[in-house]
Structure 1
Amino acid sequence: MRKVVVTGLGCVSPIGNSVEETWASIRAGKSGIATITHYDASAFKVKYAAEVKNFEADKYMDPQSARKMARFSKYAVAAAKMALDDSNLTDNKEDLDNAAVYLGVGIGGLEITESSMKSYFDSGFKRMPPMTIPQLIPNEAAANISIKFGLHGVAHTIATACASGSDALGQALDNIRAGRSDIVLAGGAESTQNGFANLGFTVLQALSSKWADDPSKACRPFDKQRDGFVMGEGATILVLEEYEHAKARGAKIYAEFAGYGATCDGYHLTAPNPDGIMGARAMTLAMKDAGVKPEDVTYYNAHGTSTHLNDSGETAMLHMAFGEAAKKLHISSTKSMHGHCLGDAGALEAMICVKAIEEGYIPPTINLDEVDVEGGCDLDYTPNKGIDMNIDVAMSGNFGFGGHNGIVVFKKVSE
């Protein structure tokens, strides 16, 4: 089977507008959650989020192109530019001509939907901006990446809610293993920072709302005082490459992308199956695909949304999939810092796993002041302070509305 490695990273996140800034914030235990600024949230119950800050699209694309994109597309193009620069592929027209794109997007340009619908109704059903549809549809981020950088392999968009980023990476892995591509830009992008999404998730009773006096404490996975997730946004791109191809061009190799597993609960539109069996099966499939045993995995980046159902349910999955090895597993939810980035969550957290392997560092779960043991959270979640240690294998899991379960596994590269 063809070996797949990571040769480039790019990221726009609520805790940094580059991989370097994002990783520095992770190491510092810095929260990116604050009072909402992208729109007037004064009328809403939820008044804080994990927003991207000080993003300048003109650094990554011409202003005319940027005006035709929704925020999630702008973030995706910026992350792709960073990843290609990092991999020394930006000017390699021959390789890029055949490269593919797999992007996870859970929702798409929802701020465009909101503003265009207002125009539609206010005008008596006569007007809306002409670029409404090309801006809002989820596939346009992958399309914009292909257009901007001259990529002519497949450009596919995966929509499996919060598992979209993980599943996009998994599909990209299969593409390279099958010999269809040598290089794939894979990841996720999302921006649902608008009132429509705020209210939509609020009426589902999914969002945290009680920490308006100190939003930095709002996302607290596995903690007794957790009260819901905090909406994030951003985009993350990993350059995935066939190993021999990467070696031949002298590429820097961050890690091996070793395994992927996916299942569906087939249970409920929004709630995970409380028995956790299908999530655990996805973990087991991913480890088998990667050729590792539970005791080989050092670090698990949890979905860890800071909701009661997820955190206890994910813990149960880990017990099922890892058995006794679960007690020695180092776990953290970096969503405690960058919030829940929806379609980008799996990609951002995969990038964090890659950096964890590269630097030998277990990120912390911040705001974890009292572990909810009585609520079923009884493992080591790396509370509040990271750990320096060697990591040979790291895993990330994400679980989405509709019962979608996606797991990815990365290894330290060996000859």
Structure 2
Amino acid sequence: MNAKQVVITGLGVIAPNGIGKNQVWENSVAGKNYIQQITKFAVQDWPAQMAGEVRGFAETDFISSRQAHKLDVFTKYAIAASDLAIKDSDIKLNQMNADRIGVYIGNCFGGWTFNDPQLRLLHTNGIDDFSPFVGTAWFPAAPQGEITIKNKLRGHSKTFDSGRASGLTAIGYGARAVLQGRADIILAGGTEGLINPFTFAALCTEGIEEPRHRIAESGVYQPFDRRRNGWVPGEGAAILVLEEYEHAKRREAKIYGEIKGFSDSTVACHPRFLSGQELGLDYTMTEALADADLSQQQIDLIIADGLGTELGDLWEYRAVKKSLDKVYSTVPVTVPKTMTGNLYGAAGALDAFWAAMSIENNTVLPTLNYEVADPLIELNIVHETQRERTINNVMINGRGNGGICASLVIGSVAAMQ
């Protein structure tokens, strides 16, 4: 084990079910469904018309109007979430060494909300009307750059694209950067702004060639249910402040929990497929558990990837059964993203936010729409909010196309003693 410990000292979130930590958590505990008809573009003739949209987001609360028109929405969400996380952590950036503070952000699609209309202009009006900000607005590393510029941070920073596992991967490697002594603080998480015609069309048509990745055209996201028929997209951002424990202790920071274990892997397979059966996720769950130095019985909750497709959920179940063979049928399993849609590159980061808040509040969030058990999946799926349940260690799973898998373990402050 590494002598250092990495703790979570701040949480910032922009999600379909709220702006900020408190609103998102309250609506999550209430178990409300925020997957609705898309309003950001006309979808009357589209095969899928439902998503988790961020609503009520006032961008000028976080970004000047002059700057806002140069940025894509996925960058705006990331800036806002990082501002909220910094405020929540009570970091005094102007009193700290900026060379020791970095930014690790996960994202998959980049800035197509900005780029889509620009490409239309290019092909109809020519280059004269083309925005000079396309290159920087679309660039997947734009959030990382804009956050560091706004906060004058000069520490080790990276952008990760691991599909739906991007946010989880950013947090895992951000924690490792702190453990390795490369930083005292890392702002880590994910962001995605995929509710635009270009990206949504790509997601809708993906299932034509590979049904295992189809969007649920009904808009009903019901992972592990026998009637499951696909996932539902969502948008937003979640950022965690990761801090070296002694550094946090010296400034008397509030601690939500500890990043205890992490593992990721890639099982070579077709780029549209999930990992070869359950092999990749079984590996990352086993390795994350070992990295955390925990027994199977010490995992109190699993926040599953919960893709919501027939084979995707079956393979995740097999991985859970193999890696946690002593407790797989009894440990609570939940998929809170059924309330918001799957935030793709930000999905794992939002799951990490929910994990930290579940530990803080001793509460297990529900999996919506789980009504008919699949006889092939023997998991303890939580379908109603459970309060007053001691949660010391949470395992989070994430997967991406092409065989990408990641698992992260977050532990409680009490478990650190």
Q: TM-score of the superposition, structure 2-length normalised?
A: 0.95
Identity %: 31
**Match for residue 302 of structure 2?**
300
| Partners of 1:18 and 1:11 in 2: CA distance | 5
In structure 1, the residue corresponding to 2:371 is in which secondary structure?
coil
Shift of 1:275: 2.7
Shift of 1:377: 2.1
**Match for residue 280 of structure 2?**
278
Q: Which amino acid aligns with 2:403?
A: G
In structure 2, the residue corresponding to 1:192 is in which secondary structure?
coil
1:348/1:308 Cα in 2 relative to 1: closer, same or farther (>3 Å)?
same
| Partners of 2:98 and 2:136 in 1: CA distance | 24
**Match for residue 391 of structure 1?**
391
| Partners of 1:124 and 1:81 in 2: CA distance | 38
Q: Which amino acid aligns with 2:169?
A: D
1:193-251 deviation per Cα after TM superposition (whole angstroms, max 9, x unaligned) = 0111222111122444443xxx4xx1111112221111101011000000000000110
In structure 2, the residue corresponding to 1:348 is in which secondary structure?
helix
**Match for residue 67 of structure 1?**
69
Moved more, 301-310 or 70-79: 301-310
Q: Which amino acid aligns with 1:404?
A: I
**Match for residue 228 of structure 1?**
230
Moved more, 155-164 or 85-94: 85-94
**Match for residue 269 of structure 1?**
271
2:41–2:197 Cα contact (<8 Å) kept: yes
Q: CA RMSD in A?
A: 1.4
1:95/1:84 Cα in 2 relative to 1: closer, same or farther (>3 Å)?
farther
Q: Which amino acid aligns with 1:245?
A: H
* 1:161 correspondence with 2:152: no
1:295–1:325 Cα contact (<8 Å) kept: yes
| Partners of 1:369 and 1:208 in 2: CA distance | 20
Q: Which sections of structure 1, spanning at least 5 residues, go unmatched? A: none
* 1:338 correspondence with 2:340: yes
**Match for residue 401 of structure 1?**
401
Of 193, 198, 201, which residue of structure 1 is paired with 2:200?
A: 198
2:73–2:193 Cα contact (<8 Å) kept: yes
**Match for residue 316 of structure 1?**
318
Of 128, 137, 140, which residue of structure 2 is paired with 1:138?
A: 140
In structure 2, the residue corresponding to 1:397 is in which secondary structure?
strand
1:13–1:235 Cα contact (<8 Å) kept: yes
Moved more, 183-192 or 96-105: 96-105
| Partners of 2:374 and 2:200 in 1: CA distance | 27
Shift of 1:305: 1.9
1:368–1:384 Cα contact (<8 Å) kept: no
1:36/1:409 Cα in 2 relative to 1: closer, same or farther (>3 Å)?
same
Q: Which amino acid aligns with 1:388?
A: E
Q: Which amino acid aligns with 1:380?
A: N
**How do residues 178-217 of structure 1 correspond to structure 2 at under 5 angstroms?**
178-205=180-207, 206-211=213-218, 215=219
In structure 2, the residue corresponding to 1:204 is in which secondary structure?
helix
Q: Structure 1: which 4+ aligned runs deviate by more than 6 Å?
A: none
In structure 2, the residue corresponding to 1:343 is in which secondary structure?
helix
| Partners of 1:338 and 1:386 in 2: CA distance | 19
| Partners of 1:93 and 1:69 in 2: CA distance | 29
Of 134, 154, 171, which residue of structure 2 is paired with 1:152?
A: 154
In structure 2, the residue corresponding to 1:161 is in which secondary structure?
coil
Of 49, 52, 58, which residue of structure 2 is paired with 1:50?
A: 52
Shift of 1:112: 2.0
1:283-341 deviation per Cα after TM superposition (whole angstroms, max 9, x unaligned) = 01111111111111000100102121221111110001100211221100112111110
**Match for residue 210 of structure 2?**
none
2:169–2:406 Cα contact (<8 Å) kept: yes
1:123/1:60 Cα in 2 relative to 1: closer, same or farther (>3 Å)?
same
In structure 2, the residue corresponding to 1:324 is in which secondary structure?
coil
2:49–2:217 Cα contact (<8 Å) kept: no
| Partners of 1:331 and 1:70 in 2: CA distance | 35
Q: Which amino acid aligns with 1:159?
A: D
1:89–1:96 Cα contact (<8 Å) kept: no
Shift of 1:117: 1.2
Q: Which sections of structure 2, spanning at least 5 residues, go unmatched? A: 208-212
1:357–1:392 Cα contact (<8 Å) kept: yes
| Partners of 1:355 and 1:250 in 2: CA distance | 19
1:11–1:236 Cα contact (<8 Å) kept: yes
**Match for residue 380 of structure 2?**
380
Q: Which amino acid aligns with 2:142?
A: E
Shift of 1:93: 3.8
**Match for residue 251 of structure 1?**
253
